[in-house]
Structure 1
Amino acid sequence: MGKKKVLLMGKSGAGKTSMRSIIFANYIARDTRRLCATIDVEHSHVRFLGNLVLNLWDCGGQESFMENYFTSQRDNIFKNVEVLIYVFDVESREHDKDLHYYQSCLEAILQHSPKALIFCLIHKMDLVPEDQRDTKFTQLQDKLAHLSRPLEVSCFRTSIWDESLYKAWSEMVYHLVPNMSQFESNLEKFAEIVDADEILLFEKATFLVIAHSLRRDHPDPHRFEKISNIIKQFKMSCSKVQSHLRSLEVRNTSFAAFIELFTANTYVMLVTSDTSMSSAAAVVNIKNARVHFQKLEKAPESAMSQIRQN
């Protein structure tokens, strides 16, 4: 699978580095206030499933840098891009300039990486009065869809102060994993075998939900990002006392949930309404499935064939 080049762009102060630090560097929202502005381009590499590595380019948004991206650095910045993530500050006072830079990005992408996926994050939505958020987001989404033609764009509303950031980044990463359908089909088979209500697969470092199987309807459509946020905060609390999250079990009268370290790059969460399921049974089931998913992560095609035979 190799490296996937991801451009993170937007005007200075839009919140690009803050969100990157929360997702990939275990920052909490209030600590992002001490971050400095990005100078030129900051590179980071994040390993996901198997051989997939996100080559993330966080591009400083100061005017002088933005102009250079479209002139002297155009080939270097926009060549071989898999994903462009453009961040808009919803409360920006330079909205027209934001749109101008966004269109310049699209022109460069069309020239150098026409197959790149385009995502726009309408950021800092917490600053908009709650009763106006839907209207404001819809207006910006429609405008960006029009400006992006002939390219297609997916828009998300985000804030560092709630779970929306995890939802957006989970969706974006989902589109980068080429064998995702194989992971999902195997999760469905696993859920069927153990009679689970739902099984979630989390990326180990970021705790983004990258795949899931649902066998019984759930009333909360935002549960994935809430779980990501909660477990990541718990994981960070463990690290403060020099401990590592290996497993976690939560029970009440309605369900039992088991979180276990799964493969080299993932955690798994098994949720069942059968509260009589013992901890030992859940651990054994996860252990048996781990062998197959480890093979799938390393060599998707051969593992898939073996799982079918079993």
Structure 2
Amino acid sequence: MALEYTDEQQMLTDLTKPRILLMGPRRSGKTSILRVVFQKMPPHETLFLESTHAVDIRLANNNPFLQFQIWDFPGDFFFYRVSRNGGEGGGGGRELGGSMTQEGEGEGPKEGELLDEVGVFGVPAALVFVLDAQDEPYHEALTRLVDLVARGQSVNPSLHVVVFIHKVDGDLFLSDEHKVDCQRDVQHRIAQELRDASLEHVEVSCFLTSIYDHSIFEAFSKIVQRLTHQLPVMENLLNYLISACKMEKSFLFDVVSRLYLATDSNPVDMQTYEMCVDMIDVVVDVSCIYGYVVGEERQAGGPLGRNMIFG
């Protein structure tokens, strides 16, 4: 299955699973990314998605190497501290009550439990800030980013910070040159904002992304790798593989999400990655038609739904 849901309390109290925290302004594309990458929603159907109004927590549990929580935050989310006796410990905030349903369409964590900085950033996590590249100027969004980084660093100095410069598929970005100029401009502004906030030591990675091509999968693959403790071992094994078999390139893919969990030390060529993903799609489609079924393995991935593939 692409996404599996467990009991709410187990999900929200399991501190062993890393978190990917999707944050950013409203309508920047956070939920669309989640749907396309992990639920295989066609990109054009994301145009009809409603805005997220509460924190939505999901569990990706495709294989032993890809297990983490995904937190989808509404664009107007802000932190507030709640004392453990149930009263507010300072600041204002809106209630985000409710619970996850079986289909995962819940309203997020309960008031008083996880809406302060410690509850959100207090475990191994990657902050993924989604910036709408078509929504200039970026000053307000970048100010929000720096505030999140400061809050996260105060709780978790090892927090990974990633910025998706998203929606680089419009008329403003018809050429690669325009995309690169946008990325360079955003990186410069982020560095300047971090210096002004005395956070210049924080490393921020920026990726140009779009749900209409493979760039979003490439970027998400990089995030998953940062949260994978076994990455050095897997990279060494893939290096041995290409050396022994005289291969040009190797990937370790999660079949369900099409993310690659590891690759060898050679540079990643986007065209090679796209070709491997297309081949996996063909193999899965054929296996769904001609493959045999064992138990419930056909769900959301056919007979190969819970396996990994070397590319």
TM exceeds 0.5?
Answer: yes
Match of 2:192, as an amino acid? H
Per-residue deviation, residues 29-80 of structure 1 (Å, max 9, x unmatched): 112122221121011111255265211101011x3x3466996522333332
In structure 2, what is the Cα distance between the partners aligned to 1:205 and 1:80?
A: 26
Q: Verify: 1:146 aligned to 2:192, yes or no.
A: yes
Q: 1:87 aligns with which of 130, 134, 147?
A: 130
Amino acid at match of 2:31: T
1:267 partner amino acid: I
SS at match of 2:250: strand
Larger CA deviation: 65-74 vs 133-142 = 65-74
Match of residue 50 from structure 2 = 36
SS at match of 1:99: helix
Specify whether residues 187 and 78 from structure 1 end up closer, same or farther in structure 2 by C-alpha distance, changes over 3 A only.
closer
**Partner amino acid, structure 1, of 2:180:** D
Which residue among 97, 117, 128 is the counterpart of 2:160? 117
1:216-240 deviation line (CA, Å, top 9, x unaligned): x9xx82135413552465467559x
How does 1:162-177 map onto structure 2 within 5 Å? Answer: 162-177=213-228
How far is the alpha carbon of 1:24 from its aligned partner? 0.8
Give secondary structure in 2 for the equivalent of 1:125: coil
1:158 equivalent among 203, 206, 209: 209
Of 14, 21, 25, which aligns to 2:39? 25
Pick closer, same or farther for the CA change 1:49–1:223 going to 2, 3 Å: farther
Identity of aligned residues (%): 21
Provide the residue aligned with 2:149 in structure 1. 106
Counterparts of 1:263 and 1:15, CA distance in 2: 27
Say if 1:166 and 1:243 are closer, same or farther in 2 by CA, change over 3 A.
farther
Please tell me whether the aligned partners of residues 24 and 131 of structure 2 are also in contact (alpha carbons under 8 angstroms): yes
In structure 2, the residue matched to 1:221 is 269
Structure 1 unpaired stretches of 5+: 247-260, 270-310
For the 8 Å contact 1:6–1:81, the answer to whether it is kept is no
The answer as to whether partners of 2:235 and 2:264 remain within 8 angstroms in 1 is: yes
Q: Structure 1 CA distance, aligned partners of 2:210 and 2:306?
A: 30
1:201 aligned onto 2:201: no
Shift of residue 187, structure 1, vs aligned partner: 1.8
Q: Distance in 2 between matches of 1:133 and 1:227?
A: 23
Superposed CA offset, 1:111-158 (max 9, x none): 222210100010011122324222121111121133332311000011
What is the rounded CA distance, in whole Å, between the counterparts of 1:42 and 1:238 in structure 2?
34
* TM-aligned CA distance change 1:121 to 1:27, over 3 Å: same
Partner of 1:255: none
Q: In the TM superposition, what whole-angstrom CA distance separates every residue of 1:76-107 from its partner, at most 9, and x where no partner exists?
A: 33332511000000111462221221121112
Q: 1:105/1:143 Cα in 2 relative to 1: closer, same or farther (>3 Å)?
A: same
Given that residues 56 and 73 in structure 2 are in contact (C-alpha distance below 8 angstroms), is that contact kept between their aligned partners in structure 1?
yes
1:283 corresponds in structure 2 to none
Contact residue 65 and residue 228 of structure 2 kept, 8 A: no
Unmatched segments (≥5 aa) in structure 2:
1-14, 82-90, 94-114, 195-199, 294-302
Deviation at 1:185, TM superposition (A): 1.4
Structure with the bigger percentage of helix: 1
Deviant stretches of 4+, over 3 Å = 66-72, 231-239, 241-246, 261-265
Given the superposition, is the C-alpha separation of residues 170 and 139 from structure 1 closer, same or farther in structure 2, using an over 3 Å criterion?
Answer: same
Root-mean-square deviation (Å) = 3.1
1: CA distance between counterparts of 2:131 and 2:66?
Answer: 27
Alpha-carbon distance between aligned partners in 1 of 2:44 and 2:285, rounded to the nearest angstrom: 15
Report the secondary structure of 1:174's partner residue: helix
Q: 1 or 2, which has the higher strand percentage?
A: 1
TM-score normalised per structure 2: 0.70
Alpha-carbon distance change, 188 to 232 in structure 1, aligned in 2, over 3 angstroms = closer
Alignment TM-score, normalising by the size of structure 1? 0.70
